[in-house]
Amino acid sequence: MLNLNLKGKTALVGGSSQGIGRASAVALAGLGANVILLARNASSLEEVKKELDISIGQQHFIVTADMSQPYLMIEEVKKFLQINKITVHILVNNTGGPTPGPVTEAKTEDFEAAFQLHLIANHLLVQALLPGMKEAGYGRIINIISTSVKTPLPNLGVSNTIRAAVANWSKTLSNEVAKFGITVNNVLPGATYTNRLKTIIQNRAAKSNIENKAIEENMMHEIPAGRFGTAEEIANAVAFLASPAASYINGINLPVDGGRTGSL
């Protein structure tokens, strides 16, 4: 029997005020998990919590912190966990992507900021939550990265660089924690119709002096499925990897991209 039941488990979901993070929080709560929502926008988190609070027999929480300031963020998380005496079993590392642009035009501070926002923030959260996962004998660390891990994407120079670093950090981590019943996997979204993709489309359209619709059609032409993905479709992969059913899946990159990535 396929065991997707997360009742009694607690998940911490980064960037859960919108997009893939929000959809992941909803999906995990739908499988029975208690969810800690983490992002910097308190009012948006309150809206998500209202949506989750319709679940019966579960508790959901909010931690307001800015992941671009990882050392301040982790202090807020630690303080919350200590006060509420909560063990986190599932960590979804997710946050907004770096600013688009050619790598030749990237400033050194762009790389430094992206490194802090992605790798350092992820690492600090893992270090804070790992003891509880070990004690529980159950842990799922899921990193939302990008298909650029497999094939670098045009005009995303900083993102391509930092995402690859996160993927290799993740693989190394997966080898070290597997013996404790903890898995570490990466979900690689393709073109997903979130606010970030809308911004990318608008920027390309402005630079090319053509309509957004034309940019969208060109992008969809590269996708065998012939359409953009939804945040909910990415969240479905997250929810499965978080479940007991995925206990022997460890250290992988899982593209969820409609077949766009040109490699296995």
Burial 104-114, CB ≥16 within 10 A → b, else e: eebeeebbebb
C-beta of residue 200 within 8 angstroms of C-beta of residue 228: no
Q: Which of 247, 243, 232, 241 is nearest to 5 (CA)?
A: 243
Residues 15 and 39: beta-carbon distance below 8 Å: yes
Q: How confident is the model at residue 250 (pLDDT cuts 50, 70, 90)?
A: very high
Confidence of residue 120 (pLDDT cuts 50, 70, 90): very high
pTM of the model: 0.96
> Which tens digit of pLDDT belongs to each residue from 203-215?
888 888 899 988 8
Q: What is the dihedral of CA 77, 80, 82, 85, to 10 degrees?
A: -120
Picking from 168, 181, 171, the residue whose alpha carbon sits closest to that of residue 248 is: 181
pLDDT of residue 16: 98
Q: What is the pLDDT of residue 27?
A: 98
Nearest in space to 120 (alpha carbons), one of 178, 156, 165, 86: 165
Rounded mean pLDDT of 190-198?
89
Neighbours of 167 (CB within 10 A): 19
Tell me the per-residue pLDDT of 50-101, one tens digit each, with 9 for 90 and over.
999 987 899 999 999 999 999 999 999 999 999 999 999 999 999 988 988 9
Q: What is the mean pLDDT of residues 140-150?
A: 97
pLDDT in tens, 16-36: 999 999 999 999 999 999 999
| Mean pLDDT to the nearest integer, 147-176 | 96
Mean pLDDT of the chain: 96
Q: What is the pLDDT of residue 76?
A: 98
